[in-house]
Chain A
Amino acid sequence: MKPMRFPPPQRHRTALFRAPVAPALIVAAAALTLVFISPAAAQDNVSKSEADAKLRYCEVCHGAAAQGFHGYYPIPRLAGQPTEYLKNQLQAFVEHRRTSNIMFNVGHVLSPAMINALTTDFNQLNPKPLGGAPKQDLDEGKKIFDNGVAGTNVPPCASCHGPQAKGNGPFPRLAGQLYDYITNKLTNWDKERGQNPSSPDTSAVMQPIAHSLTQPQIKAVAAYLSYLE
């Protein structure tokens, strides 16, 4: 009986796979050493194929171009979001300051390099809005967005979210966001955001505004925003 050879003979492979064992082991050892002595360097990059696979996974729920999707819950548009806002939200999910079991699971396995890649990709997508909101109060919604609500704590949304609701830095893009997603969030602000009172976050800014808006006002402004491109 022939003694077993390691590696086994590769009769049908190309020459690449017939490299001698010893140099291959040395190269592998060197690579592993580099990986382990420079952890920061290892996380600076994420391969394009990994980033693409992760993006496609996000798009299963968030839509083929991250335009959002009506799943069991309304799943928000991520396309065109400022990267800083997206990173803040992923961080909030991981730290349970924002409650979502599904997004906690999504978020806590992402490396910083992967988060950089994903948020950049989402920011650059620009599909048309999903649409579908009722259209009778769009003028009222625009008024609230541009001017706020006189005599209340509601400033013009445009002052932070931008005149075209495209957002900036920590302020999210609202243009083209799903109608029922916006109405759900504004209605349930306190139940979902800033859930760690000992660790207040930027969501506190919106709290008095979400509280002051009435349901008809929320629906009007949400409908208006949902059609913006």
Chain B
Amino acid sequence: MRALKPLRIEGTPEARLRPAIWKLTDVRLRVGLAALVATLFFVGAVSAQHRIGPSGDIAAKISYCKDCHGVSAQGYNGYFPIPRLAGQQPVYLQNQLRAFIEHRRTNNIMFNVAHSLSPAMVDALATHFASLHPPPIGGAPRQKVATGRKIFEDGMPEVNIAACAACHGPDATGSGQIPRLAGQLYPYLIKTLNNWDKERGRNPTVPDASAIMSPVAHSLNRSQIEAVAAFVSTLR
């Protein structure tokens, strides 16, 4: 690297005021500077593994998730309905990623996504998605929403259907391990409730939190599922 040679204006006041460090023609200074740069580069490279936040690797991973889950993680009606992750409870997201890795929740695509994620990356992703708040995709049939609201808020005690709000909250925002449902995709919710036992809790020797929903999913009939799904899919 050509040593920096400041423009010399001999004999002028400016020349006398220039900082001495600009005189890099000295070999010792050049070697010292190269060593410093190399050290900083090495330190930076080592700490990059633990760096979370606005850095190249997490941004790339988020962009990759959004390829399927939507530009603001609002979900996408692909070949399969791909769920909304925006505003999701971080503990719930972490649990699902772990469930995919351990094949307690069966999905080949998500297994492949999840098993390469470090714990720090899982935390960072969950925190990021929880902070997004795009409007719901919508599109559910409107005439089912009123019935869905009734089931969600009051339950149907005559037929032993618990009020969803008791656990998912009055605004369906969830809490802790209990997922947000507000704004979730209508077809995704229907598919999930209809197929609960086929997709969740797939390792009988390792029971997990999904067991809580199994009796609920069973007790709802098709039209109740569609009504509740329609209602929560409209919530912000």
Contacts and interface: CB of A to CB of B under 8 A. Distances in A.
A72 B174 contact: yes
A102 B166 contact: yes
Contacts of B155: 102, 105-106
Contacts of A61: 162, 166-167
Contacts of B154: 101-102, 105
B151 to A, nearest CB: 11
Interface stretch (A27-35, A50-58, A201-209, A211-219): A50-58
Contacts of B163: 101-102, 105
Contact of A75 (B157, B166, B169, B174): B166
Contacts of A56: 160, 215
Contacts of A105: 154-155, 157, 163
Nearest to B216: A60
B126 interface: no
Nearest to B158: A109
B166 A71 contact: yes
A72 B160 contact: no
Contacts of B139: none
Contacts of B153: 101
B168 interface: yes
Interface string A34-64: 0000000000000000000110110011001
A56 B175 CA distance: 23
Interface string B5-45: 00000000000000000000000000000000000000000
A60 B157 CA distance: 12
Contact of A57 (B160, B167, B174, B175): B160
Given A72-B175, A106-B155, A60 B169 contact: no
B229 to A, nearest CB: 18
Contact of B178 (A53, A57, A72, A101): A72
Contacts of B219: 57
B53 interface: no
A162 B28 CA distance: 84
A57 B162 contact: yes
A18 interface: no
Nearest to A107: B157
B176 to A, nearest CB: 6
Given A71-B167, A72-B165, A105-B155, A60 B215 contact: yes
Nearest to A61: B166
A70 B219 CA distance: 22
Contacts of A6: none
Nearest to B172: A72
B109 interface: no
Contact of A109 (B157, B165, B168): B157
A145 interface: no
Interface in A51-88: 53-54, 56-57, 60-61, 64, 69-73, 75
Nearest to B160: A57
B4 interface: no
Contacts of A70: 175-176
Interface of B: 153-155, 157-158, 160-163, 165-170, 174-176, 178, 211-212, 215-216, 219
28 contacts: A54-B160, A57-B160, A57-B161, A57-B162, A57-B219, A60-B212, A61-B166, A61-B167, A70-B176, A71-B166, A71-B167, A72-B166, A72-B167, A72-B175, A72-B178, A73-B166, A75-B167, A101-B153, A101-B154, A102-B163, A102-B166, A105-B154, A105-B155, A105-B157, A106-B155, A108-B157, A109-B157, A109-B158
Given A53-B160, A71-B166, 11 more contacts: A60-B212, A70-B176, A71-B167, A71-B178, A72-B166, A75-B166, A75-B167, A101-B163, A102-B163, A105-B154, A109-B157
List the 10 closest pairs (A to B, CB-CB), nearest first.
A71-B167, A57-B160, A72-B169, A60-B162, A109-B157, A105-B154, A102-B163, A72-B175, A61-B166, A106-B157
